[in-house]
Amino acid sequence: MSTPVIAPRKKRLSEGLTVTQKVFIRSRNGGATKIIREHYLRSDIPCLSKSCSQCQSIVVPDAKNELPNFVLSEDPQKLASLGKHYVVVDTNIVLLAIDLLENPDCFFDVIVPQIVLDEVRNKSYPVYTRLRTLCRDSDDKKRFIVFHNEFNEKTFVDRLPNETINDRNDRAIRKTCEWYADHLKSYGINIVLVTNDRLNREAAKKETKEENYTTRSLFKYADMLPNADEIKELIPNLDNFSDSSDILIDEKSDATFPDYYSTSRVMGGLRSGGLYQGNIQISEYNFLEGTVSLPRFSKPVLVVGQKNLNRAFNSDQVVVELLPESEWKAPSSLTLDSEHFDINDNPDAQGDDGDFTGEGTTAVVSDKQRRLLAKEAILAQKSKKIQPTAKVVSITRRSWRQYVGQITPSSVDEKINGIQNVFVILMDKCLPKIRIRTRRAQELLGKRIVISIDSWPANHKYPLGHFVRDLGDVESTEAETEALLLEHDVEYRPFSKKVLECLPSEGHDWKAPVQLDNADELAKDPLLAKRRDLRDKLICSIDPPGCVDIDDALHAKKLPNGNYEVGVHIADVTHFVKTGTALDGEGASRGTSVYLVDKRIDMLPMLLGTDLCSLKPYVDRFAFSVIWELDQDANIVNVDFMKSVIKSREAFSYEQAQLRIDDPNQTDELTLGMRALLQLSIKLKQKRLDSGALNLASPEVKVHMDSETADPGEVEIKKLLATNSLVEEFMLLANISVARKIFDAFPQTAMLRRHAAPPSTNFETLNEMLQKRKNMHISLESSKALADSLDRCVDPKDEYFNTLVRIMSTRCMMAAQYFYSGAYSYADFKHYGLAVDIYTHFTSPIRRYCDVVAHRQLAGAIGYEPLSLEHRDKHKMDMICKNINRKHRNAQFAGRASIEYYVGQVMRNNESIETGYVIKVFNNGVVVLVPKFGVEGLIRVENLTDDVEGAVFDEVEFKLTFKPKGAAKTRDVYVFQKVDVQVKSVLDPVTSKRKAELLLV
């Protein structure tokens, strides 16, 4: 317990004020500790308005000896009743209307008080980063500044007795407005506080008798703008958000969802073990079924039905409560997507008169019963198909972001020209439709649009959102590409001016020094003396065709003792990307480059990625080299790490390199080195496989684009050559060697990558399928046992069957993740798929930020240059790892979505009969994979038979029996079955998404 004994008091120092507060903290043994807090205030914090001459005379340089930029315009926007003005926003406006603040057509000069920035950071980090970006990237059109009101002696306010934190912060914002209004009065610039807090607006009127600044709600402020109709479209859709009569009022209805538990009840339940917290994952096949992985349970807990899901979105962090045992059930054998569910719902209705799907009435359960229930649940997961079910009782963190979708035509009333409620179907089929209000409903039909979600009240069947912007026509390449980038949170906007300013001033004319000991060059870069000159080595690169961002190159030569010198040379990105710069911040934020069918979204500006860092042939380039001495059996005798200068002799594609190696007429030293690399790589791979490394698979295809029209031409399954494996093996060897080195040097913060062993429960269903249909089994005692059992899964009558099992096994594996070494014990560093005890990513710094960090740590480990504090701090490394894990996953999904879109375009005019494989069987359909196109699709039972009710699903045999259309006999379709399917591309009339439609032949 703490008791303030002395009220805060101010004391004048030589360079400002300090606020002192003394607090006594009572300890458990009855003693007390006195804590003194001092808060320093300054008189030289500027207003950052270009019109103000007073502040420009008092500013002092910062720690970098740089003066602050005065950003706010001397001639801000002028409105009829407000005059020339700056806008001050409060926390809720930022949280709810960040899309509007980012809009280029409104909010031109905005002051963000520091207390607002701090509150936003605590409540929503994604919104905080967007706000920081707005303030950082201010330009001639939009000018945002952060005013440090908490450190300005004129705007700091003490917390009053019995005053809540929120009330104190609101008063601090009003004090900031008052100071700005007085400060800029002589320059003819007014201050407008935009807030939807009615009490805050009323308090402002009481406190400012002269009304030296104005307050407006968001809606009233937007209504005063010259483009009011357009801007009001973008205002968040909340029941009580606007005080305008222009907004549609819904008819009230009874609550359709249970209320969330109170914070105290949630905290108590988590402590006592009656409640559990985790992230919910909605099934891709049934949007009314979710799972929550909990540490105590061997399998995820099921959450079934709308009421039990209780407004949870995919990936939300939720708190769940177990349901009584009578309500436990097996995972659903039905497929159900949100796109075709209740398509005739009325968007003007809030609730639903009928019962929701999949819930029963839940009895009241005591805390003691809950604990017993948890024990029963754990036992049930071990022994039964029936799984424990739960209900969501609280959502602790929303995963909401901007979403892409299209307005449902059936929800638009063509007779209404004004504002109306309509439904938006999202591209993510795991999510429910969203209700928005718009005047442009008819205009936006057939368009891909961006929306944001505002709230999901308990008395609304669907979430409420608002329109953000129009991407373009459905199926236009530009709209679909931008849509998939937004859907997967890929940053695709051009690099900012501040980022580009970090690039070498010489641009494309930059050249590596000819002489490393040149005095002039050493004066520019003292570290040049530590570089090794390797330009005499016969180095080459081997990459996919058309690769321009060449990260890696290799060389090999035989030594007099019969061993081999082998070098892997990686682009020295960190020579150009320095810690703490805007360029480094942008790379850390993007996390990875993203590769689509028709374009590449770079992590770093093109000048670096495709020129100065790229290890192009025939030019000198800086590199980070790993050089081994390997014996004839590819065992490491010695390894050395160095920053270097290299000159690649040639840039090969995989196919070109393979042809050169295979050509007996080629006997030059470069080719001999490549052959040595190939032979050594074969031995390295065999050693990995002998140790238990997995050889998994995915249905990867390549889309060929027409070079003139940029239209997709044909699809082919990716072919792997021996040279693919050559490069892969030496990149793996480099990553392992670097991981050991940086872990030895930085045992608490080394940037590493791990792959956890999969729980046996992940393979339960696949093993049941294999046992029942093929009398086979996948062993999980170790990665070696798994690899060997996969090798045994062979069907002599079908050579693709083994690949199919490997594809399905890949989906049962855990995802690999980046981590810092202090987060796990050494035993948990293991990379299960590669069968190595430690691993990192070092070989692709142009396109992965993890590799950039590994480069810096390796430079520190070899004494090339000191490692920055940022990469020695556990908390900061944890934030970096979390971000790059998320960005890496999103980049993979975006790449797959791009291939899926272009495959759909290829199939658009190419209806054909193809070979497919059944990979899932449901009560109401089967899922078929078509290897040629790398696509899989659900064939619904209504497309298989006219007698839907007569179809029989055998859950034990993984079989669906039905009478095909126009046939007299029944047909069995079962998992792993090879089938012929008619493949065609169709545009779904409800979702406006093109997808592969499969029909059994």
Task: Please check whether residue 486 is in contact with residue 404, taking contact to mean a CB–CB distance below 8 angstroms.
Answer: yes
Q: Give me the pLDDT at residue 999, please.
A: 86
pLDDT digits (tens, 9 = 90+) for 356-372: 444 444 444 455 555 55
Report residue 871 as tokens: 């990469």
β-pair type (925-930, 620-630): unpaired
For 619, left (φ over 0), alpha (ψ -120 to 50), or beta? beta
Q: How many angstroms separate the CA atoms of 899 and 437, rounded?
A: 34
**Average pLDDT in the 116-128 region?**
89
CATH number listed for the domain at residues 911-1000: 2.40.50.140
Q: How many angstroms separate the CA atoms of 506 and 719, rounded?
A: 41
Q: Give me the pLDDT at residue 172, please.
A: 94
**Average pLDDT in the 679-686 region?**
95
- When mean pLDDT is compared across 377-381, 566-570, 838-842, 956-960, the lowest value belongs to 377-381
Rounded alpha-carbon distances, angstroms, from residue 391 to 375, 384, 764 = 17, 20, 25
Architecture of domain 263-356+364-474: Beta Barrel (2.40)
Q: How many angstroms separate the CA atoms of 655 and 650, rounded?
A: 14
**All structural domains of the chain with their residue ranges:** 43-232, 263-356+364-474, 497-748+837-891, 911-1000
- Check if 263-356+364-474 and 911-1000 are the same fold: yes
Report residue 159 as tokens: 């917390």
CB within 8 Å of 687: residues ≥ 6 apart: 634
What is the rounded average pLDDT for all residues in the chain? 86
β-pair type (190-194, 83-89): parallel
Q: Give me the pLDDT at residue 381, please.
A: 55
Q: What are phi and psi of 156, to 5 degrees?
A: -70, 140
Which is more confidently placed, 80 or 309? 309
What superfamily in CATH does domain 43-232 come from? 5'-nuclease (3.40.50.1010)
Q: Give me the pLDDT at residue 288, please.
A: 86
Task: Please check whether residue 552 is in contact with residue 843, taking contact to mean a CB–CB distance below 8 angstroms.
Answer: yes
pLDDT digits (tens, 9 = 90+) for 658-670: 999 999 999 999 9
* Most confidently predicted of 152-161, 565-574, 720-729: 565-574
Burial state string for 597-606 with b = 16 or more CB within 10 A and e = fewer than 16: beeebbbbbe
Q: Give me the pLDDT at residue 968, please.
A: 81
CB within 8 Å of 760: residues ≥ 6 apart: 780
Task: Please check whether residue 304 is in contact with residue 288, taking contact to mean a CB–CB distance below 8 angstroms.
Answer: yes
Q: Give me the pLDDT at residue 805, please.
A: 93
Number of neighbouring beta carbons within 10 Å of residue 38: 10
Q: Give me the pLDDT at residue 376, please.
A: 55
Task: Please check whether residue 453 is in contact with residue 463, taking contact to mean a CB–CB distance below 8 angstroms.
Answer: yes
Report residue 400 as tokens: 């909401």
Number of neighbouring beta carbons within 10 Å of residue 527: 12
Report residue 286 as tokens: 């049934």
Report residue 534 as tokens: 């390797």
Q: Give me the pLDDT at residue 379, please.
A: 55
pLDDT digits (tens, 9 = 90+) for 275-287: 999 999 998 888 8
Task: Give all strands (DSSP E) within 698-838, no chain letters.
Answer: 701-705, 712-717, 751-754, 817-820
Which is more confidently placed, 993 or 822? 822
Angle (nearest 5°) at CA 291 between 286 and 296: 165
β-pair type (971-974, 959-962): antiparallel
**Average pLDDT in the 974-997 region?**
82
pLDDT digits (tens, 9 = 90+) for 842-901: 999 999 999 999 999 999 999 999 999 999 999 999 999 999 999 999 999 998 888 888
Confidence of residue 295 (pLDDT cuts 50, 70, 90): confident
Looking at the chain, the whole-number percentage of residues with pLDDT higher than 70 is: 88
**Average pLDDT in the 674-694 region?**
93
Three-state DSSP at 659 gives helix
Q: Element (H or E) spanning 10, and its range? A: strand 2-13
Confidence of residue 599 (pLDDT cuts 50, 70, 90): confident
**Average pLDDT in the 290-301 region?**
87
Report residue 446 as tokens: 């057939």
Q: How many angstroms separate the CA atoms of 251 and 858, rounded?
A: 64
Q: What are phi and psi of 452, to 5 degrees?
A: -120, 150
Which sign, positive or negative, has the C-alpha torsion 572, 576, 579, 585?
negative
Task: Give all strands (DSSP E) within 184-312, no chain letters.
Answer: 190-194, 214-216, 276-282, 289-292, 301-304
Percent helix, strand, coil in the chain, to 5, is 35, 25, 40
pLDDT digits (tens, 9 = 90+) for 421-434: 999 999 888 888 99
> Is the pLDDT reported for residue 241 higher than 50?
no
> Is the pLDDT reported for residue 986 higher than 60?
yes
pLDDT digits (tens, 9 = 90+) for 925-961: 899 998 888 888 888 888 888 888 888 888 889 999 9
Angle (nearest 5°) at CA 832 between 862 and 726: 65
**Average pLDDT in the 30-35 region?**
72
Q: Give me the pLDDT at residue 681, please.
A: 95
Minimal CA–CA distance to 337: which of 896, 898, 1000, 990? Answer: 990
Q: How many angstroms separate the CA atoms of 421 and 443, rounded?
A: 14
pLDDT digits (tens, 9 = 90+) for 478-521: 898 899 999 898 988 899 888 999 999 999 999 999 998 888 88
Minimal CA–CA distance to 698: which of 833, 599, 819, 795? Answer: 833
Three-state DSSP at 46 gives coil
Q: Give me the pLDDT at residue 350, please.
A: 59
Rg over CA atoms, the chain: 32
Q: How many angstroms separate the CA atoms of 673 and 542, rounded?
A: 13
Minimal CA–CA distance to 994: which of 910, 904, 920? Answer: 904
Q: Is 586 exposed, middle or buried (0-12, 13-18, 19+ CB in 10 A)?
A: buried
Three-state DSSP at 988 gives coil
For 342, left (φ over 0), alpha (ψ -120 to 50), or beta? left
Report residue 632 as tokens: 């004839």
**Average pLDDT in the 545-562 region?**
93
Bridge partners (DSSP) listed for residue 556: 566
**Average pLDDT in the 990-997 region?**
72
pLDDT digits (tens, 9 = 90+) for 740-779: 999 999 999 999 999 999 988 889 889 999 999 999 999 9
Looking at the chain, the whole-number percentage of residues with pLDDT higher than 90 is: 54
Q: Give me the pLDDT at residue 354, please.
A: 44
